[in-house]
Structure 1
Amino acid sequence: MPGKYYIRTYGCQMNEWDSEVMAGIVEELGYERAVRPAEADLVLVNTCCVRQTAENKVWGLLGTLGRLKKKRPGMVIAVTGCMPQQEGVAAEIRRRFPFVDLVLGTHNRHELARLLERVRAEGPVVAVWPEACCVPEGLPVRRESRLRAWVPVMFGCDNFCAYCVVPYVRGRERSRRPEDILREVEALAAAGYREIVLLGQNVNAYGKGLQPRVTFADLLSMVNGVDGIWRIRYTTSHPRDFDAALITVVARLEKVCENFHLPVQAGSDRILKLMRRGYTRADYLNLVAKIRAAVLGASITTDIMVGFPGETEEDFAATLDLVRQVRFDQAFTFVYNPRRGTPAAALPDQVPEEVKSRRIQELIAVQQAISRELNRAEEGRVHEVLVEGPSEYDREKLAGRTRTNKTVVFKGDEGLVGRLVPVRITAGHLTFLEGEVEGAAR
């Protein structure tokens, strides 16, 4: 008999959407949401393997769940996501944690309801497809927000960067049909959603294999025409595939936000080549210049890795120099971890951990100084803010986002949630802005 369910999600926005789908599936079976795993009859662990730290968190959680299951032997525990999709990991999960009832990968989560029935009838089940068979449509989704919605436009990745496991665990690129995407966006608009985030491991590659051919620029134009949607965002973009046509469309479409997330990863041409990124430092700087020339007030964020095998002090200095040149609004920084099955894991000249630690701290310090300067430069400006709800910094205040994806905290009535409000910025901090309502909401 269904009871309560709990989902723990690790990793990227695509994993967050996957968890929303799984929540939708189990709620259709009659499960109700639990606040804590100790209250749940079904626990779903949605895993990530992009970095070792994410895997370590999963192993630790499974140990905790094993102790819970001794107290509640009827609890069903399912492990899904990218970790089981890696070669040998599903078997390792069953060997180390035999109390896990269900292991499934990234390609067949739409079968969750059927697999839970198998668990009840047969006992533990391992169901990991080696590759995807299709792009499932019409899945139930239990969305976390009533204002902003994830909308996947494609799945998988064909880039095979030297350090990355995503193509191995998410499969090759598969695009949804534009009519299916538009149908979903129209339904979301009718349900009161105002912001759409188009998702893909590399959204710029959208449309490959579709007949007739549709590009991501074409798709943005289609979604921009949906009544009721106020803002459109997208993630993630690959700098190599961000072409002039896409820049032109983003600059022209009034609903597409002026926020560009462009993972650079490194500022050294030698390291970029070893990473198999497909562009040079000059290519990246040229792309940034084109965006800033075409899109007034564009904010640019990025991902940067330190400690890639063979990275010298000169290579790292080139990365710091690029950061100072571009002046990113924000950077997600991380240390290279060898990932099983990737070419980079077998490269010589692995960088010592103490060197990685020193470099990441230096990089963070440089970027934080830039982020503070840019946010302080916002003081006195008025931004249109889409109000999301109470602030995590101060529950007595509201918070929302600018079109450039900066969080703004301000005093206001709860009736402003879900509306567009002009806010004058009064203070810029490292990770958010403070402001005051400047005029009437709409």
Structure 2
Amino acid sequence: MNEKQRLESEQITTTHSSDVKSEVDENLDRLKNMSSDELISKYFQTTYEVPDLKKARSRRKKDVDIHYDFDIAEEFRGLGQGKKFLIRTYGCQMNAHDTEVMAGILMQMGYAPTEVTEEADIILLNTCAIRENAENKVFGEIGHLKPLKLEKPDLILGVCGCMSQEESVVNRILKKHPHIDLIFGTHNIHRLPNLVSEAQFSKEMVVEVWSKEGDIIENLPKARKGKIKAWVNIMYGCDKFCTYCIVPYTRGKERSRLPEDIIQEVRHLAAQGYKEITLLGQNVNAYGKDLDIDYRLGDLMDELRKIDIPRIRFTTSHPRDFDDHLIEVLAKGGNLVDHIHLPVQSGSSDILRVMARRYTREDYLELVRKIRAAIPNVTLTTDIIVGFPNETEEQFQETLSLVEEVGFEAAYTYIYSPREGTPSARWEDNVSMEEKKERLQRLNKLVNEKSAESMKNYVGKTVKVLVEGESKKDPDVLSGYTEKSKLVNFRAPKSVIGQIVEVKIVNAKTWTLDGELVEAAVEVN
């Protein structure tokens, strides 16, 4: 049976909307006279709303609408009654926060969470597009889930997150993984009830990925994990367009939430007893630049520090937007932690230029000097990319020397991963993968040495630890983090979980500290 005959026999069943289906049915006679290519084109246009990177590149100046009226329609509220969901999350804190929102929506639809794959009636893969390895993991998982789908035909399998915003990814799933039921993007998470309903009752794959930037939807439900630490999204998107980065295309332009909405959410979390919040944004310290008011991240932090919550931090910042006012506010201390994650990416001004980072090595070092002058005890961590196209040994040496000069206490290090649709993916590269791996090893050796040196300084000192739970390796050992994001393991009664306690450090490792609970420890705010 050819494509035309198949579509005729199925009466051109579409999944995107009932209106489209009616239109197609009414015009069936006309479709019979179409060529196969015309018919296939018509079919895909009416069935799928796929991403378009050309549209995603557009940065039209338009007001972002803020909606406060989110609600789940009554027809969707019982859809998951007696059923369970599982969301697997890949990537950054923003993805983890999106998972909390999706979980909150599904629970309001009647679904219950599960960690057991075989129990789930709906499985969503919330994906990351930053590196090729992350995509490979997701496609591996898509393959692993196929037998379960064959065993449970009513199981809904969905792919969402940043990978869904890539045309090549959606096309690959359409062609090679027909057992996937649902694909949606980062801009239409609030549409999840409608999409799940369509996927549940449809015979075809449901695809809805908006290339345009989304509006800001307030009052979305969230199923937060635990009652100790919480993420608060303060803005969405990024306007930097670094030549290697897919984020501006998958997450859209910068859109800031209103200060009063953020402050209200943080106050609510404080009232619930949360001990730490992390403000999130793809380029978090660009907060407020798109607002019509003279209000930036420093102003927001200055207000949040007055709220009765022990710790406030933010991630991830861009050196170009780290202004003097923000440094001045952070220097006030209090509940504003003295740990700053400040991605540098490279220590070479030439590489930074072709990365379109819009600062030089000297600019970065001057920023570090300003921060350290205002906050003497600050801890700095960073991100570094090794093996950017045509990076020379001399340029790599500049990165090593910058790590030495700044003295980062930790760093996330990566081999450059070309992402389709970004400028650098089209460039020729004369650096072999073998050489890139060797450079990464040298960089990691230096970073590990710096981390170990910084950890030794804690031995004999007493630190404040926010206790998060049992250690992954030993249930009799508890673990938690200091203000400077140092992981501490120590023995203590389970009753201190969720508290901030004093711990004396007795041993230092490369990435963790061992300690002893200070006798008669009480919660310290």
Bin the TM-score by the shorter chain: over 0.9
Amino acid paired to 2:164: P
Cα deviation for residue 305 of structure 1 reads 0.5
Which has more radius of gyration? Answer: 2
Equivalent of residue 428 in structure 1, options 499, 508, 512: 508
1:98 is aligned to 178
Point out where structure 1 has 5 or more consecutive residues left out of the alignment.
none
Correspondence 1:59-138 to 2 at 5 A: 59-123=139-203, 124-138=205-219
Cα deviation for residue 213 of structure 1 reads 2.5
Q: Distance in 2 between matches of 1:250 and 1:350?
A: 43
Q: Distance in 2 between matches of 1:209 and 1:314?
A: 39
Amino acid paired to 1:20: E
Deviates more, 1:207-216 or 1:75-84: 207-216
Q: Judge conservation of contact 2:154–2:200 (CA < 8 Å) in 1.
A: no
Cα deviation for residue 350 of structure 1 reads 4.3
2:462 is aligned to 382
2:230 is aligned to 149
Q: Distance in 2 between matches of 1:236 and 1:177?
A: 19
Cα deviation for residue 39 of structure 1 reads 1.6
Equivalent of residue 360 in structure 1, options 437, 440, 444: 440
Q: Judge conservation of contact 2:479–2:489 (CA < 8 Å) in 1.
A: yes
Point out where structure 2 has 5 or more consecutive residues left out of the alignment.
1-78
Determine if the alignment matches structure 1 residue 396 to structure 2 residue 468: no
Correspondence 1:331-350 to 2 at 5 A: 331-350=411-430
Q: Distance in 1 between matches of 2:363 and 2:474?
A: 42
Cα deviation for residue 186 of structure 1 reads 1.3
Determine if the alignment matches structure 1 residue 280 to structure 2 residue 371: no
Correspondence 1:8-407 to 2 at 5 A: 8-123=88-203, 124-227=205-308, 229-407=309-487
Deviates more, 1:231-240 or 1:286-295: 286-295
Secondary structure class of the residue paired with 2:304: helix
Secondary structure class of the residue paired with 1:374: helix
Cα deviation for residue 87 of structure 1 reads 2.3
Q: Distance in 2 between matches of 1:349 and 1:262?
A: 27
Cα deviation for residue 287 of structure 1 reads 1.4
Amino acid paired to 1:10: Y
1:229-284, CA deviations, whole angstroms, 9 ceiling, x for partnerless residues? 11001000001111211111001141110101000101111111111111111111
Amino acid paired to 2:246: V
Q: Distance in 1 between matches of 2:427 and 2:395?
A: 16
1:373-432, CA deviations, whole angstroms, 9 ceiling, x for partnerless residues? 110121111111111111224321111111111111111111111212111111111111
Q: Distance in 1 between matches of 2:382 and 2:370?
A: 16
Q: Distance in 1 between matches of 2:304 and 2:314?
A: 11
Aligned residues: 441
Deviates more, 1:298-307 or 1:29-38: 29-38
Deviates more, 1:90-99 or 1:229-238: 90-99
Cα deviation for residue 141 of structure 1 reads 0.5
Cα deviation for residue 160 of structure 1 reads 0.3
Q: Judge conservation of contact 2:95–2:161 (CA < 8 Å) in 1.
A: yes
Aligned-residue RMSD, C-alpha: 1.2
Q: Judge conservation of contact 1:221–1:253 (CA < 8 Å) in 2.
A: no
Q: Distance in 1 between matches of 2:475 and 2:387?
A: 39
Cα deviation for residue 351 of structure 1 reads 2.1
Equivalent of residue 4 in structure 1, options 71, 75, 84: 84
Q: Judge conservation of contact 1:108–1:132 (CA < 8 Å) in 2.
A: no
Cα deviation for residue 104 of structure 1 reads 0.3
Q: Judge conservation of contact 1:308–1:350 (CA < 8 Å) in 2.
A: no
Q: Identity rate of aligned residues, in percent?
A: 48
Q: Distance in 2 between matches of 1:192 and 1:388?
A: 14
Secondary structure class of the residue paired with 2:382: strand
Cα deviation for residue 208 of structure 1 reads 1.7
Q: Judge conservation of contact 2:87–2:123 (CA < 8 Å) in 1.
A: yes
Q: TM-score w.r.t. structure 1 length? A: 0.98
